[in-house]
Amino acid sequence: MSAETTRRIEAHLGRRARWRISEIVFWLALLAVIFAFPSRAALINEILVAGLFALSLDLILGLAGIVSLGQAAFLGVGAYAAAILASWDQADPTLGLAAGALAAAVVGFATAPLLLRGADLTRLMVTLGVSLLLGELANRNGWLTGGADGLEFSMGKVLGRFPIGFTGQRNAALYSFAVLFVLFALARRLRQSPFGLALAAIRENRLRAGALGIATSWRIVAIYAVSAAYAGAAGALLAQTTQIVSLDLFDFHRSADVMLMLIIGGAGWLYGGIIGAGVFIVLRDVISAATPEYWEFWIGLLLVVLVMVGRDRLQEYVRRAASRVALRLARDAA
Amino acid sequence: MSGPALEARGLVRQFGALLATGNVSFALEPGARQALIGPNGAGKTTLINLLTGVIRPTEGRVFLQGRDVTAFSASERVRLGLSRTFQINQLFPHLTPIESLGLAISERNRSGADFWRVAGTRPAIVAEIEDLLTRFGLEAEMDQPTHTLPYGKQRLLEIALALATRPRVLLLDEPAAGVPEEERQDILAALAALPSDVAILLIEHDMDLVFTFATRISVLVAGRLLTEGKPEDIAKDERVRAVYLGEDGHG
């Protein structure tokens, strides 16, 4: 045993645990954006909520390698749980947030066993099927959900002090920011833990993970429920900050968009969902202002380029181009 | 503990009309160094899968240290002390040896579901990772992604991972398969240094390795145990020579 080797092993295992400067800068910049663009608070809020939604997908896809085209199911369940609670005059946002996350976690836990068998295609179809099913249930039970009309309700103040919604859009964005940050920090912690390491093992080689004594099925169920809770929290935030819910929350396009966002930002490193949501929503905003009909064309092109060229190579191009520009600037200055 | 470490009683496995395993009974004593040999298609892999719980037998029972584990899943059997290595590497390509071993050790400690503690903060686990890395000569590569390791080192990691579960019984499925000649000595040395109280069943094609390592040999032919005995008796057995060793066999 050498002290040097021991130290290196500890450092290696804990290497992602410390917050890096670039991460702190990222979060401060995100917070600064909320204060810098008060007129765009609604758009920023949408990005933050979508970022949380994409983070929920990253927990299963990025960490455990479980694909899903039905993440909207949990977004919808969380949103409706928070909305129904508010329509019963339980308007405290924190309570609604917890209810949304919990309701989605329960549904996630109950449907997770469907994911344990079969390959990726099976999982895509099963998750898609579950989201269709829940959407139809919400449609049929109008007494609870308002059916096709949706629900309108008013929200209380966050922590009893800060009004959110149309009268307090910046507060809404700050509320979403706070929830996103706390849940992100939890996810980051989870990724560092033995549990996170076991998920990586399941993703890399489920056969061997089982041969090391890991109860792989239970771990998959657990992370799927956590992911559902995150999506449910995103749904609750969406309901609370827009003060309306409708059946389109369960729509397929929601599940597809969130997958797009995560692929754009990159799965597995937890920041990908937030960055992808930002790119996706800002692009949609900019392009649809210029050419309202064709914005999906450009998103589609971006997706094809990302997948065909590969994100690593794309990043390498950008890095090389940037260093070339920096070099030229330095030469010009000299 | 008295009695065999691992025992199979009347194992039968049928795939449709195909009888892959036909009434196999055998016992592995604590600390045994036993080899299982047989020509291709003899059903060695099926037998391993039956013993480790990857598939269930059509008939028969499996006992691990006297306990009937026939109904137990593969991962439950690992937690009770039955571990294995794979003929084709089954590693975690993008995890490092440190991470892979840490994972195996924390699973054994029942702290693998811990979602709050940062990995690498338990001195006992770190010390055990270091011990295994040293024993298998993997310190130089310990923080490199597994898929970048030389093949021989990956084979060593296969064995180290199985050992990290602290097995009472270890099944080694062709540990030297595909290892280049210059790295073979490392594998042989690692096998010789395995803890003497662990019962080991070696499944191997390489007769040099079998006759160096094993003190007892079982011969499997067409899903049935043909014979079992000391290496020198097996080498002399005419039936074994006929079906397996062929003209260029030992003896």
Q: How many structural domains are present in chain B?
A: 1
Nearest to B96 among A12, A14, A195 (CB): A12
Q: Angle at Cα B91 formed by Cα B87 and Cα B92, nearest 5°?
A: 165
Q: pTM of the prediction?
A: 0.88
- B107: which 2 tokens? 């699973």
Residue A111 backbone dihedrals phi, psi, to 5 degrees: -95, -10
Chain A to chain B Cβ contacts (< 8 Å)? 145
Chain A contact for B129, CB < 8 A? Answer: yes
Separation CA B129–CA B119 (nearest Å) = 12
B107 contacts in A (CB within 8 Å)? 198, 212-214
Interface touch A213/B118, C-beta < 8 Å? no
With respect to residue B251, please indicate whether it lies within any of the assigned structural domains: no
Chain B hits for A195, Cβ within 8 Å = 112-115
User: Does residue A144 belong to any structural domain of this protein?
Assistant: yes
- Inter-chain residue contact A9 with B94, CB threshold 8 Å: no
**Residue % of chain B over a pLDDT of 90:** 59
What is the C-alpha radius of gyration for chain B, rounded to an integer number of angstroms? Answer: 19
Query: Could you give the C-alpha distances from A268 to A58, A200, A202, B41, B199, in angstroms and in order?
Result: 6, 10, 14, 41, 40
B1 touches chain A (CB under 8 A): no
pLDDT at residue B250, rounded to an integer: 45
Window B:84-113, CB contacts with A under 8 Å: 84, 86, 90-96, 98-100, 102-104, 106-108, 111-113
Q: Residue A43 domain-assigned? A: yes
Which of B75, B86, B125 is best to mutate for the A interface (most A CBs within 10 A)? B75
B51 touches chain A (CB under 8 A): no
Contact check, Cβ <8 Å, B92/A195: no
ipTM more than 0.95? no
A interface toward B at CB cutoff 8 Å? 1, 5-6, 8-14, 17, 189-190, 192-198, 200-201, 204-205, 207-216, 219, 222
Q: Which domain holds residue A125?
A: 20-249
The domain that holds B12 is classified in CATH as 3.40.50.300
Average pLDDT over residues B226-245: 84
Which residue, A141, A78, A75, A70, is CA-closest to A112?
A70
Burial tier of B64 (Cβ tally within 10 Å: 0-12, 13-18, 19+): buried
Range of the domain at B81: 6-245
Does residue B250 belong to any structural domain of this protein? no
Alpha helices in A59-167, H assignment, sequence order = 72-87, 93-111, 120-140, 142-145
What residues have CB less than 8 Å from B32, skipping those under 6 apart? B5, B199, B200, B201, B215, B216
- Residue A12 in any domain: the answer is no
In a domain, A236, yes or no: yes
Q: Does B165 touch chain A (CB under 8 A)?
A: yes
Q: Tally Cβ neighbours within 10 Å of residue A280.
A: 25
Per-residue pLDDT 10s for chain A (334 aa) are: 688 899 999 999 888 888 999 999 999 999 999 999 989 999 999 999 999 999 999 999 999 999 999 999 999 999 999 999 998 988 899 999 999 999 999 999 999 999 988 788 999 999 999 999 999 999 999 888 888 888 888 888 888 778 886 667 889 999 999 999 999 999 999 998 999 999 999 999 999 999 998 989 999 999 999 999 999 999 999 999 988 899 999 999 999 999 999 988 989 999 999 999 999 999 888 888 887 777 778 878 888 888 787 767 667 777 787 778 878 877 877 6
Domain membership of residue A99 (yes or no) is yes
The three-state secondary structure class of B136 is: coil
Closest CA to A226 of A69, A93, A107, A67: A107
Chain A partners within 8 Å of B120 (Cβ): 9-14
